[in-house]
Amino acid sequence: MTRIPFNKPYLHGRELVYIAQAVASGKISGDGMFTRKCHQFFEQRWGFPKTLMTTSCTDALEMCALLLDIREGDEVIVPSFTFVSTANAFVLRGARLVFADSEPDNPNLDPRGLEALITPRTRAIVVVHYAGVACDMDPILTLAASRGIVVVEDAAQAIDSYYKSRPLGSLGTLATFSFHETKNVIAGEGGLLVINNPQLTERAEIIREKGTNRSAFFRGEVDKYGWVDIGSSFLPSDIVSAYLYAQLEVLDAIQLRRKALWQRYWDNLAPALPAKGVKLPVVPAWASNNGHMFYLVCESLAQRSVLIEALKKEGIDAVFHYQSLHRSRYYAARHDGRELPNCDRFADCLVRLPFFYELQDADVDRICGTVLAAL
């Protein structure tokens, strides 16, 4: 019985060649040849006006909070069902979090509850496209625009995914992506900031370069560079970008395979699971599926525990996901006390099945067989 891990990083072909090229070029610090190639790729492929590679999606989110001048007393609306970084980035600047609940049938932020969360102090709404599936952006963008609130997309899982044919990452004022080893295209640790409002571009470059205007200096726009604003070191080594660029070059092949794996899970499980009280992932009509993740929603925490245990016995690593941030040890006492029942249900009942590029069809069949036998 071979073990099936939940995730496995992989080489597609040219990663090590490009890393060697980066070293041979004599420059492996930030903004080298491969970082430029990555920026070009993102800007050409999805029409993003400006992109900046970062050391992680977490750092890209922290850059968003800095760029938006989030400060003490500001309120930021975030989903409670998300990774800590979505929230932490704004808490670091002194913001108070106002948590939004998930939709009833999928973990994304429910726009229906949103207006009631807005106060005169609301500065930003951060949406998370869970599993690469788009939030219902039109009502969110319309509401935010009418109240002068900025929308940030945490698109960590959402590369090459779309909302009504518009690429995710192009809809908010700012957006962030992750290339952590669990995402569709990887660099170990890495991220991207997308700047859709050109007025924020210059300052984004400065914040990313330790508060200096070094980027403008290297373009010859200023004759010396110095300390002009706050900032930190948010740019990755060119080695990270070299690894990533090798994956971007074969993005279509990666996506094709991941979508095929997703479909195989679906075909195996969709006929049998509803009768057992287990729900399949929901992809609303407005959203595309980028093959980021395959998850199930059990009818109870107990049923999920049985399932995870049964898979573990067969050497298969299935894992649950986020625990509600409004109940977290750090934030529970600061939360305003509202119940967020949909979020709590996904925290208790959602389980993710192994999903990575090198997963074999036979592995998927074995996993599904074990799932069906366990329930």
Ligand X SMILES: *Cc1c(COP(=O)(O)O)cnc(C)c1O
Q: Which residues sit at the interface with ligand X, rule CB under 6 A? A: 56-58, 82-83, 85-86, 128, 154, 156-157, 178, 180, 191
Compare residues 60 and 359 and give the one whose CB is closer to ligand X. 60
Q: How far is the CB of 191 from ligand X (least distance, A)?
A: 5
Structure tokens at 142: 């319309």
Which spans in 107-200 are helix H? 137-146
Q: Which of 328, 308, 327 is nearest to 318 (CA)?
A: 308
Contacts of 210 (CB under 8 A, 6+ apart): 227, 231, 232, 233
In the complex, least distance from residue 190 CB atom to ligand X, rounded to whole angstroms: 7
Smallest gap, in angstroms, from Cβ of residue 373 to ligand X?
30
Q: In whole angstroms, what separates CA 221 from the centre of its chain?
A: 34
CB of 198 to ligand X, least distance (A): 25
**Is the Cβ of residue 177 or residue 213 nearer to ligand X in the bound state?**
177
**In terms of CB distance, is 34 or 177 closer to ligand X?**
177
Q: Which is nearer to ligand X, 57 or 240 (CB)?
A: 57
We find the least distance from the C-beta atom of residue 332 to ligand X, in angstroms, to be 20
Q: For tokens 């794996």, name the residue.
A: 261
Pick between residue 7 and residue 58 the one whose CB is nearest to ligand X.
58
Instruction: Pick between residue 65 and residue 368 the one whose CB is nearest to ligand X.
Output: 65
Do residues 134 and 169 make contact, with C-beta atoms less than 8 angstroms apart? Answer: no
Q: Which is nearer to ligand X, 158 or 283 (CB)?
A: 158
Asked whether 285 and 138 are in contact (CB, 8 A), the reply is no
Closest approach of ligand X to the CB of residue 292, in Å: 9
Closest distance to ligand X from the beta carbon of 194 (Å) = 14
SS3 39: helix
Report in angstroms how near the CB of residue 24 gets to ligand X at its nearest: 28
DSSP-assigned states of every residue in 66-120: HHTT--TT-EEEEESSS-HHHHHHHHTTTPEEEEEPBPSSSSSB-GGGTGGG--T
Rg, C-alpha atoms of the chain? 21
Q: Which is nearer to ligand X, 80 or 370 (CB)?
A: 80
Strands (DSSP E) contained in 171-247 are: 174-178, 191-195
Q: For residue 56, give every residue at least 6 positions away whose Cβ sits within 8 Å of its Cβ, in sequence order, or none.
A: 85, 178, 180, 189, 190, 191
| 34 and 209 Cβ atoms separated by less than 8 Å | no
Output the DSSP codes for 57-77: HHHHHHHHHHHTT--TT-EEE
Shortest reach from residue 76's CB to ligand X, in Å: 15
Residue closer to ligand X by CB (options 39, 180) is 180
Q: Compare residues 98 and 185 and give the one whose CB is closer to ligand X.
A: 185
Confirm if 137 and 127 have CB atoms less than 8 A apart.
yes
Residues 6+ apart with CB under 8 A from 335: 97, 99, 326, 327
Euclidean distance between CA atoms 80 and 328, whole angstroms: 10
The distance of closest approach from Cβ of residue 54 to ligand X in the complex, given in angstroms and rounded to an integer, is 8
Find the helix or strand (DSSP H, E) in which 244 lies.
helix 238-249
